[in-house]
C-alpha cells in the first residue's frame, strides 16, 4: 500500500524568513509584497510598530492585546476616506426647484369632481345609454340615461345636443380611466328639496296635483318630489279616491330630505294662507276662544293667536277674568309671528295710555285701538331696529 503524504506548506518564521521549497518561498514572497502595498496592512503594521517595540526573537513575551492594539483607537479605512473625499456635500439650495411647475404637476394629477360636488361642462357625445360631458377632467363625465333629468326622456339627442352647457352633480368619483359619473336628476332633486324646505320654513303654501291614492291618503308631485297627504289632513278624507287628477292647495307638515319624506296638509293650508296676510305691528280683531292660566287664545279667522298674561296690561293684573271673558271681542297688536311653528303673539298693553288703563276703561281702549296702534307701531319699529343694531355690533 502506498500512502501519499500531503506536501507541507511553507512556514513563515517570526523573523519573516520562509522555510520550505523554493516555489513556496516565491509564493510567500509575492504575498508579502501584496500585503506590504495594501493601505490597510501598511497602516496596521505601522501602528503595530509605532505603538510598541516587540521582541520577535522571544515570542513568549507577546500577548494578544499587544498584537491587537488599544481598543479606544478605531481602525480607519483609508480607502473609504479617500472615496468620501471625492464627493462634495450639497445643500437643498444647490438644486434647481420650480415651485410653479411643482404646483402645476400636482393640479394635473388631482382628480376633478368629488362625490357631491356641482360641476359645469358641455355635452361632447351621446350614446344610447347616456351622455358624455366635458367637465375639465382627464376624461369626460358620463351621465346615464336614467340620470339625465326628472321624468322620462325619450330622445336624448333633442334634449342634449352637442355643445349644450349643463350643470350636473357628481355621484361617483373617477374610475381607473379618470371618468366620473354625473347626474342632472340628482342635482334637480337636491334643488327641489332646498326649495320646499325654505317654503316650509317661511310657512308658505303650494299647489299640487293628486296622482294616486292608497288606504292612508293620496300622493302628489311637488317640484319633482313625491308628496303624501294623509286622509286626516284632507278636507274630504272620506272620498279621497275621487281626488285623483285634482289640484289642491297644501301646507307642509314634514320635510325631511335625508329620509326623503314629504308630508303635506290641505287643512293646514287655510291657516298658512292666513299667515301670509299677517305682519308684525298689524292690528287684528278676534274672539276669546279659550282661557288658560298663562293667557288667552284668540281666534283670528281660522288661526289662533296667544295673548300672554304679561302682554295684557302694564298695570297690576290680579285675574285674567277681570279683563276679558270667553267669547268677548278683542283688538290686539301682533308682536310675534312664526309661520313655520304656527305661532302668533298678541299684545294689548301697547294700546294703553297710562299703565293699567285697560283694567279701568277697557271699552275706551278698544274703541281707540286704530289710532293707538299707529303710535304703537312706531315703538315696535324702534325696538326692532335697536335689536338689529345690537346684533350687528356684537
Q: How does pLDDT run across 177-198, given as a tens digit for each residue?
A: 778 899 999 999 999 999 999 9
Q: What is the DSSP string of 167-225?
A: EEEEEE---TTS--EEEHHHHHHHHHHHHHHHHHHTT--EEEEEEEE-SSEEEEEETTE
Q: What is the DSSP letter of 317?
A: -
Q: How far apart are CA 270 and CA 154, in angstroms?
A: 40
pLDDT band per the 50, 70, 90 thresholds, residue 62: low
pLDDT band per the 50, 70, 90 thresholds, residue 273: confident
CB 291 within 8 A of CB 309: no
How confident is the model over 64-82, as pLDDT tens digits? 555 555 555 554 454 455 5
pLDDT band per the 50, 70, 90 thresholds, residue 385: low
Domains and CATH numbers, the chain: 118-188 (2.40.50.140), 202-271 (2.40.50.140), 277-384 (2.40.50.140)
C-alpha grid cell, residue 244: 285623483
Is residue 12 predicted with pLDDT exceeding 70?
Answer: no
Q: How far apart are CA 20 and CA 380, in angstroms?
A: 127
| Locus of grid cell 358620463 | 142
pLDDT at 17: 47
CB 133 within 8 A of CB 187: no
Angle of helix 39-51 versus helix 78-86 axis, rounded to 10: 120
Task: Give the C-alpha distances (Å, rounded to integers) separating 232 from 87, 210, 237, 248, 250.
Answer: 90, 16, 6, 15, 13
How confident is the model over 326-378, as pLDDT tens digits? 999 999 999 998 877 778 999 999 999 999 999 999 999 999 999 999 888 87
Taking alpha carbons only, the member of 327, 352, 347 closest to residue 337 is: 347
CB 143 within 8 A of CB 130: yes
pLDDT at 370: 92
Q: What are phi and psi of 222, to 5 degrees?
A: -135, 110
Is residue 116 predicted with pLDDT exceeding 70?
Answer: yes
C-alpha grid cell, residue 104: 402645476
How confident is the model over 314-325, as pLDDT tens digits? 988 888 888 899
pLDDT band per the 50, 70, 90 thresholds, residue 133: very high
Residues contacting residue 42 through CB under 8 Å, at least 6 positions apart: 36
C-alpha grid cell, residue 296: 288667552
Single pTM value for the model: 0.51
Percent of the chain at pLDDT > 70 equals 68
Q: How far apart are CA 303 and CA 274, in angstroms?
A: 7
Is residue 394 predicted with pLDDT exceeding 70?
Answer: no
Amino acid at each position: 500500500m502506498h500512502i501519499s503524504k500531503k506536501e507541507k506548506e511553507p512556514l513563515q518564521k517570526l523573523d519573516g524568513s520562509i522555510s520550505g521549497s523554493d516555489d513556496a518561498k516565491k509564493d510567500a514572497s509575492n504575498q508579502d509584497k501584496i500585503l506590504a502595498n495594501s493601505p490597510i496592512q501598511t497602516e496596521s503594521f505601522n501602528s503595530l510598530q509605532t505603538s510598541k517595540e516587540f521582541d520577535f526573537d522571544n515570542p513568549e513575551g507577546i500577548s494578544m492585546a499587544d498584537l491587537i492594539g488599544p481598543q479606544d483607537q478605531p481602525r480607519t479605512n483609508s480607502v473609504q476616506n479617500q472615496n468620501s473625499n471625492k464627493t462634495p456635500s450639497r445643500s437643498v439650495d444647490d438644486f434647481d426647484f420650480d415651485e410653479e411647475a411643482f404646483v402645476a404637476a400636482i393640479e394635473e394629477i388631482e382628480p376633478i369632481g368629488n362625490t357631491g360636488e356641482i360641476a359645469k361642462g358641455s355635452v361632447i357625445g351621446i350614446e344610447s345609454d347616456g351622455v358624455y360631458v366635458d367637465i375639465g377632467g382627464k376624461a369626460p363625465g358620463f351621465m346615464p340615461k336614467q340620470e339625465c333629468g326628472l321624468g322620462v326622456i325619450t330622445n336624448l339627442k333633442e334634449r342634449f345636443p352637442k355643445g349644450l352647457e349643463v350643470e350636473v352633480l357628481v355621484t361617483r368619483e373617477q374610475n381607473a380611466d379618470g371618468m366620473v359619473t354625473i347626474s342632472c336628476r340628482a342635482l334637480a332633486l337636491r334643488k327641489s328639496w332646498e326649495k320646499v324646505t325654505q317654503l316650509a320654513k317661511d310657512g308658505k303654501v303650494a299647489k299640487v296635483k293628486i296622482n294616486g291614492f292608497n288606504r292612508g291618503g293620496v300622493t302628489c308631485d311637488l317640484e319633482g318630489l313625491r308628496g303624501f297627504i294623509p286622509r286626516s289632513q284632507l278636507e274630504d278624507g272620506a272620498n279621497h279616491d275621487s281626488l285623483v287628477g285634482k289640484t289642491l292647495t297644501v301646507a307642509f307638515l314634514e320635510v325631511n330630505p335625508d329620509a326623503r319624506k314629504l308630508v303635506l296638509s290641505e287643512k293646514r293650508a287655510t291657516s298658512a294662507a292666513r299667515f301670509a296676510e299677517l305682519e308684525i305691528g298689524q292690528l287684528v280683531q278676534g274672539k276669546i276662544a279659550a282661557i288658560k292660566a298663562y293667557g288667552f287664545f284668540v281666534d283670528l279667522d281660522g288661526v289662533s293667536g296667544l295673548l300672554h298674561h304679561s302682554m295684557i296690561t302694564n298695570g297690576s293684573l290680579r285675574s285674567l277674568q277681570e279683563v276679558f271673558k270667553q267669547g268677548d271681542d278683542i283688538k290686539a297688536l301682533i308682536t310675534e309671528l312664526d309661520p313655520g311653528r304656527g305661532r302668533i303673539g298678541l299684545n294689548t298693553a301697547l294700546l294703553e295710555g297710562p299703565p293699567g288703563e285697560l283694567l279701568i276703561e277697557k271699552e275706551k281702549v278698544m274703541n281707540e285701538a286704530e289710532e293707538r296702534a299707529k303710535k304703537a307701531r312706531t315703538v315696535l319699529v324702534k325696538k326692532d331696529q335697536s335689536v338689529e343694531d345690537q346684533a350687528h355690533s356684537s
